[in-house]
Amino acid sequence: MNSFPGGADLMLAAWAIEILFGYPDWLYRRIRHPVVWLGNIIGGLEMRLNRAELGDVLRYGLGMSTTILIVALAGVTGMCVSLLMPASLAGFWVEAAVASSLICSRSLHEHVAAVRDSLVAKDLDAARAAAGKIVGRDTQRLSPETITSASIESLFENASDGVVAPLFWGALLGLPGLAAYKAINTLDSMLGHCNARYAAFGGFAARLDDVANFVPARLTALLVAAASLGAAAFRVMWRDASRHRSPNAGWPESAAAGALGIRLSGPRAYGETNSNEPWLNADARLPDQADLRTALALYRKAMLLGCTLLCAAALPELTQ
């Protein structure tokens, strides 16, 4: 049953565990989460190595070395877990349980649903707090309309980064590939910022994340567009995806904008910095809170299509 180096069957089992159980709170309280462990290592290395007096060239090299070290550590850890599992059904499911901790389809849905429920209850403070857990900008001054827009954008960007991409790399390279991808994505989240502190040190991590998400982002966009059962999502996706600041996030976000008949992205603030981003599906209306419910339904349909593809990929392994 050992699925290394490829693992569509393992990813299917891991996804089922994650959908049913998520990452239990009692387990988080006791041992935290693998991403927290990675974050602590990354943060410690960054504090020691990313010093302004070293200059941008040396900081870039140190950041690249840090990135390679963390990704290798994650991949080797995943390989050890995979190879140490007994070749039995029990070993397969233990490995799947470990892999499930690196997928976030259930928690993503729950976080966005919490924003929706707070907006429906007209509790703006709770909606801002809930949105702050899933979006990268300051939510304390956001209006209900902007909270809705930011949450929908985050839902479909993270559908790629947090669900499709981990499953893609896990299906291709087993648990080592899944763990290595999660390390890349965590590095980008922590270091891949275009500001004075991180531009040099995190530059390599940001580019590596772009490469790792190239195929999954476009696959996610196609799943979203297909789930919409309409041509608008495909049309907006092909027209507007390249306008996004990210070479990857614009694909699922623009597909969602077309599918939902709304405009997304546009100008926003990150802390004290204002970013004049172009609109996706600029001629459409701004989203309202009712669109959050529709967006979650679209997300579920897209993930169901993704599950169908994964089942098809796993079939040869399951019938051996």
Identify the pLDDT of residue 137.
Answer: 75
At residue 279, what are phi and psi to the nearest 5 degrees?
A: -80, 150
pTM for this predicted structure: 0.94
pLDDT digits (tens, 9 = 90+) for 34-58: 999 999 999 999 999 999 999 999 9
Residue 262 three-state SS = strand
Burial 233-243 (b: 16+ CB within 10 A, else e): bbebbeebbee
Helix 8-21 vs helix 165-191: crossing angle, to nearest 10: 70
Q: How many CB atoms lie within 10 A of CB 30?
A: 8
E-assigned strands of 38-146?
A: none
Angstrom distances, CA of residue 127 to CA of 116, 166, 227, 264: 8, 28, 27, 19
pLDDT digits (tens, 9 = 90+) for 299-317: 999 999 999 999 999 988 7
251 versus 271: the higher-pLDDT residue is: 251
Spatial distance between the Cα atoms of 320 and 316, rounded to a whole number of angstroms: 6
Residue 282 three-state SS = coil
Average pLDDT for residues 252-280, to the nearest whole number?
84
Domain residue ranges in the chain: 8-318
pLDDT-above-90 percentage for the chain = 87
Whether 286 and 152 have beta carbons less than 8 Å apart is answered as no
pLDDT digits (tens, 9 = 90+) for 185-241: 999 999 999 899 999 999 999 999 999 999 999 999 999 999 999 999 999 999 999
pLDDT digits (tens, 9 = 90+) for 243-253: 998 999 999 99
